[in-house]
């Protein structure tokens, strides 16, 4: 037998205010809007190779940092291809394995996402022509902020022989991207290594000229046709993100074609 709850003796607790809509879940800005905005094309041009020391006897090394296994290819993959072709050494840190991209999926694939996404990443890096030294930190996906201080220490260690650090945008709205970006900024400052931030989700939630983005420190890296082709081929590897895991609710693609369009441009943008 189930008893009824007693009637309230006083006024009910006020309801919490509705939380603002999650800008990442909300419909995004079409790539066409970015494409037709002259502001993006008129950003200062950055040649990444000109920013690496031409020291004799030692090839420069770049530390690439990603919150999830695909961030670095989405945001910086064309430039990775350029750096790799120029013989720059690359060390890649995957902070999480991306196992929580489909938290509501009941597909068997959803239980295996860490392994699937790691495989996809390595296939993609191969298509970029990048022979990277890979480090996976195994921080739980979605929980980066809780590990931010430790992460800054690990990144400072991994930066010890690097000349540049490339990280997710510290204002990308996704909490893992922001946490990884902040930790890397701390590490870069400690080591005296410049840090470039690449946006991923900002292309979705922001709009052309959006005052929330630090345009004054944005730069555009043009991609030669060969690097564009490599990036397009690499993006095809992330099938666990670009295709639905199944037919049930929760299986939806994280990166449908409208989202991927932001990453098929002939240039990439960094904040520095």
- Closest approach of Cβ 237 to Zn ion, in Å? 15
- d(C-alpha 162, C-alpha 184), whole Å: 13
Contacts (Cβ under 8 Å, ≥6 apart) of 225: none
Contacts (Cβ under 8 Å, ≥6 apart) of 75: 168, 169, 198, 199, 200, 263, 268
Residues 28-57: x where in contact with Zn ion by CB under 5 A, - otherwise, as a string: ------------------------------
Stretch that binds Zn ion, among 70-78, 104-112, 225-233, 263-271 (CB under 5 A): 70-78
71 binds Zn ion (CB under 5 A): yes
- Closest approach of Cβ 174 to Zn ion, in Å? 6
| Closer Cβ to Zn ion, 68 or 182, answer by number | 68
- d(C-alpha 208, C-alpha 229), whole Å: 26
Phi-psi region at 98: left, alpha or beta (left = phi > 0; alpha = psi -120 to 50):
left
Stretch that binds Zn ion, among 1-9, 27-35, 63-71, 120-128 (CB under 5 A): 63-71
DSSP letter at 12? P
Stretch that binds Zn ion, among 14-22, 61-69, 134-142, 242-250 (CB under 5 A): 61-69
Strands of the 267-271 sheet, one edge to the other: 133-136, 89-94, 61-66, 164-168, 195-198, 267-271, 218-222
| Closer Cβ to Zn ion, 191 or 196, answer by number | 196
Site for Zn ion (CB under 5 A): which residue of 40, 46, 63, 67?
67
| Closer Cβ to Zn ion, 53 or 140, answer by number | 140
- d(C-alpha 131, C-alpha 108), whole Å: 31
| Token pair for 104 | 């509501």
Site for Zn ion (CB under 5 A): which residue of 60, 68, 127, 262?
68
| Closer Cβ to Zn ion, 13 or 22, answer by number | 22
Q: Which residues bind Zn ion (CB under 5 A)?
A: 67-68, 71
């Amino acid at each position: 037998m189930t008893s009824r709850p007693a009637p309230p003796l006083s006024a009910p607790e006020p309801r919490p205010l509705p939380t603002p809509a999650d800008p990442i879940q909300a419909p995004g800005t079409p790539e066409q809007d970015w494409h037709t905005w002259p502001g993006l094309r008129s950003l200062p041009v950055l040649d990444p190779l000109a920013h690496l020391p031409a020291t004799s006897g030692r090839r420069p090394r770049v530390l690439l940092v990603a919150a999830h296994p695909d961030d670095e290819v989405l945001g910086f993959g064309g430039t990775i291809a350029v750096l790799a072709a120029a013989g720059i050494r690359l060390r890649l840190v995957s902070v999480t394995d991306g196992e929580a991209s489909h938290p509501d999926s009941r597909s068997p694939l959803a239980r295996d996402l860490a392994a699937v996404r790691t495989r996809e990443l390595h296939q993609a890096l191969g298509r970029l022509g990048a022979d990277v030294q890979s480090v996976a930190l195994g921080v739980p996906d979605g929980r980066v902020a809780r590990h931010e201080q430790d992460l800054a220490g690990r990144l400072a260690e991994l930066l010890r022989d690097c000349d540049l650090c490339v990280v997710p945008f510290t204002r990308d709205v996704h909490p893992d991207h922001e946490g990884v970006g902040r930790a890397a900024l701390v590490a870069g400052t400690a080591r005296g290594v410049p840090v470039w931030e690449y946006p991923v989700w900002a292309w979705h939630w922001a709009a052309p000229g959006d005052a929330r983005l630090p345009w004054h420190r944005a730069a555009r890296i043009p991609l030669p046709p060969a690097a564009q082709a490599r990036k397009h081929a690499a993006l095809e590897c992330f099938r666990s993100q670009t295709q639905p895991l199944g037919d049930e609710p929760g299986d939806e693609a994280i990166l449908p074609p409208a989202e991927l369009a932001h990453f098929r441009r002939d240039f990439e943008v960094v904040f520095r």
